[in-house]
Amino acid sequence: MAAKQALRKDLRARRRAHVEALDPRTRALLFRRPPAPLMALIPAGATVALYNDSQWEAPAASYATFFHEAGHAVALPWFADRGAPMQFRQWLVPPLDDVLEPDPWGVKQPAADAPLLTPSVLFVPLVGFTAQGQRLGQGGGHYDRWLEAHPDAVPIGMAWDAQCVDSLPREVHDRPLRAVVTPTRLYGPF
């Protein structure tokens, strides 16, 4: 466990340094729309879950707008409290944040009365990944537990190129990603 925590710390620092080195004008042009080959993993009419990115994570808001405009229902993670399991609620008007409220950690989430959804495709945040689709998350296990309960859902990682590593520690509950999107390439589908 200590090795995983040290790895997370190192990868977070690497991610932050990478993002800070990007010209803001260049950064604004990245992750505008999903690459065409990725669309084969997303069925017509699928409910697509994304995430509200932190300052250093790969930005997902433009993908939310893209899928919303393409007619997909868009969902965001939702938590009743810190101990509650992750659910997904509909993001009715991506990317407008004024219809969202803070979750227990201060991240924007849909209101409690937004419709509950079960996404079939999830774009997931990550701290690190391998070229074979292994993922290291933030450490809370929310996505791992949700994906274990929904084995037919298609998890797709979004990351910066600097987050790719040769290998990651693997545990029984870890589920590989079907693909990973970075600004320069698409890993997979696996």
HSE-up of residue 97 (Cα within 13 Å, Cβ side): 9
> In a 3-state reduction of DSSP, which class is residue 179?
strand
Share of residues in the chain with pLDDT > 70 (%): 98
pLDDT in tens, 10-52: 999 999 999 999 998 888 889 999 999 999 999 999 999 999 8
pLDDT value, residue 32: 92
State the pLDDT confidence band at 1, using cuts at 50, 70 and 90: low
Asked if residue 185 has pLDDT above 70, the reply is yes
User: Token digits for 54?
Assistant: 């932190």
Least confident of 29-33, 49-53, 62-66, 95-99: 95-99
Beta bridge partners of 158: 181
What average pLDDT is seen over the chain?
Answer: 92
